Amino acid sequence: MNYRVEPLISQEKLAIAVDRLAAEAASLLEGETVVIGLFKGAFIFTADLVRALSRHGVEPRLDFLVLSSYGNATESSGKVTILMDCREDIRGRQVLLVDDILDSGNTLAFTVDYLMQKGAAKVLTCVLLDKPQRRTVRFEADLVGFTIPNTFVVGYGIDYAERHRELPFVGMVRFDGEKEETP
Ligand code: IMP
Ligand code: MG
């Protein structure tokens, strides 16, 4: 299907939001923190966030967790599985769990439970984008960059069928024939 990508959140706005999130996270974190990014979508956000955390006085340990993905679809299957576990020992530690988008809530609800079961002392969640209209499980993130409407987005690490992760901004995917709606 043909589509185009329309800018939604500029590079400048992203940078300001990342700095604000890092400041908020720094005020909530005490002691040793493990930052766990969810691969692949959160890789750029996590990279920027750890550098911003460092500017705000937090020296995080960094790890990633690989979960089952959407594949090439734009809808979550609702079932989450771990493809590659994190390596850091999180027992008794606080974790800052980072994802690109909070959508149905399945991914983060599952991952927070999983990390708590592994013995984390506390799990704070931080997402760049939140789509509250799409929630199917009760879950809210502790830290949110932007609340966005129910629209498929790409860029800044986020893909559509593995494309567009490299875009420096976040854009909306507009499929041909889709009716225009203003957020
Ligand atoms: P959830 O489990 O439904 O909350 O889905 C969260 C995951 O779905 C995120 O980690 C994203 O990778 C993916 N996702 C949700 N919305 C979008 C989107 O608009 N574009 C690309 N990926 C998305
Ligand atoms: Mg993801």
In a domain, 156, yes or no: no
Per the DSSP assignment, residues forming a β-bridge with 147 are 130
Q: Is residue 91 part of a domain?
A: yes
Query: From CA 93, how far away is CA 168, in angstroms rounded?
Result: 33
In this prediction the pTM is 0.94
Does residue 177 belong to any structural domain of this protein? Answer: no
Query: Domains in the chain: how many in total?
Result: 1
Residue 58 lies in domain: 13-149
- Residue 73's pLDDT is 60
Check residue 103 and give its pLDDT.
96
CATH number where 75 lies: 3.40.50.2020
Q: How far is the CA of 170 from the centre of ligand 2 (A)?
A: 15
> Cα–Cα distance between 78 and 102 in angstroms, integer?
13
Q: Kindly state whether residue 27 falls inside one of the protein's structural domains.
A: yes
Residue from 5, 9, 102, 103 to probe ligand 1 pocket by mutation (most atoms less than 8 Å from CB): 103
What is the whole-number distance in angstroms between the Cα of residue 19 and the centre of ligand 2? 21
Separation between Cα atoms, residue 42 and residue 55, nearest integer Å: 20
Amino acid at 23: A
> Would you give per-residue pLDDT tens digits along the chain (183 residues)?
899 999 999 999 999 999 999 999 999 998 789 999 999 999 999 999 999 999 999 999 999 999 986 555 666 667 889 999 999 999 999 999 999 999 999 999 999 999 999 999 999 999 999 999 999 999 999 999 999 999 999 999 999 999 999 999 999 999 998 766 555
In this structure, is residue 182 part of a structural domain? no
144 residue type, one letter: V
